Amino acid sequence: MIDGALTALVTPFKNDVLDETAFGDFIEWQISSGIHGLVPCGTTGESATLSDSEHKRVIALCVEAAAGRVPVIAGAGSNETRISIRYAQHAKDLGADAALVVSPYYNKPNQEGIYQHFKAVADAVDIPIIVYNVPSRSVVDISNDTMGRLSKLPTIIGCKDATGDITRVTGIKDRCGEDFIQLSGDDPTSLGHRAHGGYGCISVGSNIAPSDYAAMHEAAAAKDFPAALAIHERLDRLHKDLFLCPSPAPTKYALAKLGRMGEEVRLPMTPCTPSTRAAVEAAMSRAGVSA
């Protein structure tokens, strides 16, 4: 079952090369900390700057390290439909449990173009698909009606909504049904998203504090919203301050402070500024996160 707190994994680099040892150790820490799922090669994983071979290797390493203990939802997004199909096939061949396919960016397709893009991927590769709607990055927004059409395709099982608009949960539920897996892609509003009927969150903050994010979503799933809210409030600055500079630079800085990996990012990302470093350290302290 895909639900709860799923980490949008960062990709560790060392001298501009994938740091496989750090990545494997990081995944083991995530799972031992109680995280509910792993998402390699998403936006937070700097997928846009991974080579084709690196993309495949990151997914393979994640599937191997997870060893079936938690679901692996592999990023398979591109604005080029044929490339997205290839990435989805990689995900299937490498043993991922599902593929995360982002709305086509840059091209600015209309709703019919968006539908046909996802349909082409779904028709070509027999793997469960999570549709990723992130208009702040892709420019285009997947409407609730288009999501309803997509939900009728047999392998499209859910969506990741990074709009932060929790009012969409009910509209999507009306069009897609109760079993359609709605995941938040926005940590600050993820608890509200869950209260409205969502299944959980593909989270950036859980890179830093996997046990806390898992506990928050477990409490919410048990309808213990006071307990979930208490955790949410403690994590609030972490939710937000990890985006004071372009992601994932602040997240990698925090992980470097924890000794989990280096803070190296690839251009056009740059290391976070001194003011962001100070804010992230303060957010970690408030959240009770330390090495």
Report how far apart, in Å, the C-alpha atoms of 155 and of each of 125, 127, 141, 159, 197 are. Answer: 9, 6, 21, 12, 21
What residues have CB less than 8 Å from 221, skipping those under 6 apart? 3, 4, 194, 200
Give yes or no for a contact between 60 and 94, defined as CB atoms under 8 angstroms apart: yes
Residue type, 145: D
Is 132 one of the annotated active-site residues of the chain?
A: yes
d(CA 291, CA 279): 17
Using the 8-state DSSP alphabet, how is residue 42 labeled?
Answer: S
Taking residue 182's Cβ as centre, other Cβ atoms within 10 Å add up to: 25
Q: Tell me which residue of 193, 186, 188, 230 sits closest to 212, measured CA to CA.
A: 230
Residue 16: burial class (beta carbons within 10 Å; 0-12, 13-18, 19+): exposed
SS3 of 130, please? strand
Q: Are 130 and 73 in contact (CB under 8 A)?
A: yes
Query: Taking the chain, what is the end-to-end CA distance rounded to the nearest angstrom?
Result: 31
Residue 156 makes CB contacts below 8 A (sequence gap 6+) with 118, 122, 128, 129, 131, 150
Residue 286: what are its φ and ψ, rounded to 5°?
-60, -40
Which position among 56, 92, 115, 160 bears the catalytic label?
160
Q: Which residue among the candidates 132, 199, 213, 253 is catalytic per the annotation?
A: 132
Residue 268: is the preceding peptide bond cis (ω within 30°)? yes
Give catalytic residues, as residue numbers: 132, 160
